[in-house]
Structure 1
């Protein structure tokens, strides 16, 4: 595998294991069963009820970036760096959470006093700098930005999707490993046998394909390989430009080969591409999929990798199908060059489902799609990850302050929201050869998971996909003509 130089720190797995915090899952609820049992044995009068009251599975912080819908262009770079710092603060706080289970068991106020309190102070200072950045260039920062400073601990028995507010099940007492990641997850509750998924039951409307039998019915397929060049890094050029390790997880890249956090639009335009059509220098990237089998990958000790709980063998897609399709309500217009689109939400576990949008399935069963579970496929079937991007554009901007407002999903009838116009819809289908995990006594064996922020617990709902259009104008016009004329081109 290729390596990108990254700062290192002690892997999260090592810290947690050293702290005797073996993670377990029982009945759907996350518990640190091994630790509490041993603590009780060593301290005859230890109050186990008190220990369980102090169990905090993860940290839920308001997503400041989603709240900033009006940031002047001249302030965006500075604000982006401060937002990236907020992400780092959460990651560091989660690392401390995972490293102090023994102290938490003895003091029910430990998390509030030693982790959440200092985190709030750091976030308050960062939010103040965000406000200064915006006001310095004549912008209007929200008056109550500091209301977003406080974070919450998510109790171990409330780790359901959508911010920890749903009951994840009763506490269990089964022993279990942490799959080597030292963070949390995935767990048995995160997996489903594809045969138990009802056909056509996916209920998230965001994932609807824009095209149909009417309107612009053509397509354009671009062939860009499956990252044969081993281009990996944990940057995020869209959300955290100019910030090393802005994603806190590792990405696969196909297409543009100049994609780092520090690349300008000019750098992207002048870079090489893996796409067969050399006029497509677009960047297509997504979190890597890993098999948690104990493999020491190139980033096992790096930020974005094992140092932040993303461990195991990186699985490259066997197929990466990248297609642009039309709109069932009418013609599409050309995408502007350098438009950025993110689909899905890397923080959906704590943010909630509003922006969640990708799905898992199996070859031979693709009428069955799930967004909040990883799938277990039968022998001979492969895992499929699918992303259907937003395909309505505001007609003006290539990005927005929260990286979402300049684009929108089509309505069910194919129409766009008022003021938006239809553009080609990007659809990415990734197919993986994944050894099927097994569930024994409520424990998942040999699981796979997408990389993510450590506090997101490797939940499948956090899967996402990213795109920057760097096609030249002639190629984009060809894409539009093929789609509007009903032809299938490549």
Structure 2
């Protein structure tokens, strides 16, 4: 069902009623996490990051203005200096060594260097009108969805719609699972990260980076569920899509003999239940609010854009300087 609706939405790219959907090239891949491990070089596990190039190990919300301190962004909309990041996918071979799985761009941004597809929406993906009113994030806003320590389906129920899609082709958008696919995926594995859509209206962050946001009190974002009284302010739905190019690892002869699947997150999780993503707001001035109020999202004439070549040029230095691309005896950050 989601695939058909997704295709229908993309068919309106040249129209005036759609959603904000844009590609971001890879900014960097390294062990940094300024939200959970601020100032720590390196952080506990590897992340893939997109967005503004002021990204660093230390990004204090009170002093680090992403829009003012960044000189470029790896995202299509050049006013978006936000940072978005997730863990990195690895293939674990029979001999116990690990190989980083590369990211694969979706077809309409196929020349970006890896990265993600980013969505901001006021209504469900398949609601082409997108007429609801939302309050854009404020400077200093940040949040985290998911939990790196989760390893069971029951734990994962605390977060809605952190899912995987075993892609048969570029257009595959169903079915979605909450655990890693258990069979080889011809086109790759898509990881989906959907953030909460209700805010307490006061706090730009919270100690666990989660308590200041919430899911709808009943129903879902897609069904138009109301926000709880504790978090009454409706904020845009952020969806991140990352396609992991697993094609080089699809030979079942290389998979574990016990029938289990061979992919793990960079945190060491082989289940997929620890899926998580981080967000630091960094749109310039009120550009995001104007886009959310404009209801002309995908083309978004009120926003400035840049070429994919410009996106690809935006990077940050390697601050950790460790090998992440060879066949590794352990995951980066794990002891031998």
TM-score bracket, shorter-length normalisation: 0.5 to 0.7
Q: Secondary structure at the match of 2:239?
A: strand
* Counterpart position of 1:451: 266
Deviation at 1:294, TM superposition (A): 9.0
| Aligned-residue CA RMSD (Å) | 2.9
* Counterpart position of 1:268: 66
Number of positions where the alignment pairs a residue of Structure 1 with one of Structure 2: 252
**TM-score, length-scaled by structure 2:** 0.66
Say if 1:233 and 1:260, in contact at 8 Å, map to a contact too.
no
Structure 2, unmatched stretches of 5+, are: 3-16, 107-115, 125-130, 301-336
**1:72-471 counterparts in 2 under 5 A?**
218-225=18-25, 227=26, 229=27, 231-246=28-43, 248-265=44-61, 266=64, 268-269=66-67, 270-271=69-70, 272-293=72-93, 311-319=98-106, 320-327=116-123, 330-349=132-151, 352-356=155-159, 357-364=161-168, 365-379=172-186, 381-410=187-216, 411-412=218-219, 413-414=223-224, 415-419=226-230, 420-435=232-247, 436=250, 438=252, 441-444=257-260, 447-452=262-267, 454=268, 457-471=269-283
Residues 269-318 of structure 1 show CA distances to partners (whole Å, capped at 9, x for unaligned) of 312311232211000111111223599xxxxxxxxxxxxx9932242233
CA spacing shift, 1:332–1:218, aligned 2, 3 Å? farther
Residues 342-365 of structure 1 show CA distances to partners (whole Å, capped at 9, x for unaligned) of 112111127923434511112354
Distance 2:32 2:202 in 1: 27
Distance 1:427 1:275 in 2: 14
Say if 1:291 and 1:315, in contact at 8 Å, map to a contact too.
no
| Greater share of helix | 1
Residues 68-95 of structure 1 show CA distances to partners (whole Å, capped at 9, x for unaligned) of xxxxxxxxxxxxxxxxxxxxxxxxxxxx
**TM-score, length-scaled by structure 1:** 0.47
Q: 1 or 2 for the larger relative contact order (CA 8 Å, sep ≥6)? A: 2
* Counterpart position of 1:129: none
Structure 1, unmatched stretches of 5+, are: 1-198, 201-216, 296-308
Distance 1:338 1:449 in 2: 32
Deviation at 1:486, TM superposition (A): 6.2
Say if 1:294 and 1:312, in contact at 8 Å, map to a contact too.
no
CA spacing shift, 1:431–1:395, aligned 2, 3 Å? same
Deviation at 1:255, TM superposition (A): 0.7
Distance 1:314 1:257 in 2: 23
